Structure 1
Amino acid sequence: MDSMATTEKKPHVIVIPFPDQSHIKAMLKLAELLHHKGLQITFVNTEFVQERLLESGGPHSLDGSPGFRFETIPDGVPRSPEASGDTIRDLLMESLETNFLGCFIDLVTKLQDAPTFIISDGFLSIFAIDAAQKLGIPIMMYWTLAACGYMGFYQIQSLFEKGFAPLKGWFLLLAYIF
């Protein structure tokens, strides 16, 4: 029997969160769990989000462990302190609609290790699915919505049919209090 050691190549997963705090946190936790199980991870942020993460955590906060790296795609968000949250959000959304697909495909084709799988935030489904199809890479959508948010979406039609939505009367008062 040949005693030569074989080097098994780890699957390479690209993880793409929607550029919002709760989405990033959920996707980062998933990426960390997958990395812990032995997968190679490339976590893709917008430039603005990456800069914010470095500002809050320090210049070396995103220095990942071997097999876990962060990459960025351009977002078109101004880096001025005068930019309001609404302006930034609007610019991020506009950038996602106009630039995401091309920038993401460019990023993936420049990676040293070819990705074997993409996990995208469900809120980016249109763009991520198009990119995965163009690149010929399998994709999975991960919905980062909290259980209470999911149930709200799931039950909204029933609430409208029963007359509970839109909120009125004492329901509105309860919603205001809580």
Structure 2
Amino acid sequence: MASKKSHVVCLPIPTQSHIGAMLKLAKLLHHRGLYITFVNTEYNHRRLVEARGRSFLNDLPAGFQLVEIPDGLPPSQANATQDVISLCESARLYLLYPFCALINDLKERAAASGSGFPPVSCIVADGFMTFSAYPASEKFGIPVVNLWTIPACALMAFMHYPKLIEKGFAPLEVTVWSRRPK
């Protein structure tokens, strides 16, 4: 019989600050008794293990697992910072299939008789990961909640930018100064 414990799958956009914010939320949810599956790209997972050591994965508390899915980018140097624009575009194009495969694997693991593994009860996705979270949510009938990791003022600008363009307020004309004004 599957566990009655709630199981949250956390899906950050694969950039450092968003991963950090999602990881903090995941730790808080785990502290409150929820089972956590934290999803990372292969690239970021490898960097995390290199930074913390392989034993880091063995020292995770019970009920907290880190999993990796491919990001669709070619392998880069181990310590190189990935181009954020390429990373976001690749995530948009390639993460849905591996994310759905992961959710399906978690579902099958929970359905295995006597596993005690809790079924996924919720997806907490970065607000910029809707292109993967919402289709998976619909496919598997799992509710999704967005975590917006950007400041409120940036979120408001992001949300209202199309209206600013429509009204002709954006984009702004940029004046380039060849020297500092006196």
Q: TM-score, normalised by structure 2?
A: 0.74
Q: Name the one with the larger helix percent.
A: 1
Do the aligned partners of residues 165 and 36 (structure 1) sit closer, same or farther apart at CA in structure 2, a change above 3 Å counting?
same
| 2:33 partner SS | coil
Identify which of structures 1 and 2 has the higher relative contact order when contacts are C-alpha pairs closer than 8 Å and 6+ apart.
2
Per-residue CA deviation, residues 61-109 of structure 1 (Å, 9 max, x unaligned), is 34420000001111233333297733x751x334323332221111111
- Gap change, CA 1:163 and 1:28, over 3 Å in 2: same
Q: Does structure 1 conserve the Cα–Cα contact (< 8 Å) formed by 2:12 and 2:22? A: yes
Evaluate the alpha carbon distance shift between residue 106 and residue 145 of structure 1 in structure 2; reply closer, same or farther with a 3 A threshold.
Answer: same
Aligned residue number for residue 147 of structure 1: 152
Q: CA RMSD in A?
A: 3.2
The alpha-carbon deviation at position 146 of structure 1 amounts to: 2.1
Letter of the structure 1 residue corresponding to residue 14 of structure 2: P
User: Any gaps of 5 or more consecutive residues in structure 2?
Assistant: 111-118
Matched, 1:76 2:72: yes
Q: Are the structure 2 counterparts of residues 131 and 149 from structure 1 closer, same or farther at C-alpha, using a change threshold of 3 Å?
A: same
Q: Which amino acid aligns with 1:36?
A: H
Give percent identity, aligned residues only.
Answer: 42
Distance 2:159 2:141 in 1: 32
Partner of 2:115: none
Tell me the TM-score normalized by structure 1.
0.76
- Structure 1, unaligned stretches of length 5 or more? 1-6
Q: CA deviation at 1:55?
A: 1.6
Q: 1:23 and 2:8 equivalent? A: no
Alpha-carbon separation, structure 2, partners of 1:134 and 1:54: 32
Give the whole-Å Cα distance in 2 for the aligned partners of 1:98 and 1:164: 28
Could you tell me how far apart the structure 2 residues matched to 1:17 and 1:166 are?
31
Alignment correspondent of 1:32: 27
Do structure 1's residue 166 and structure 2's residue 172 form an aligned pair? yes
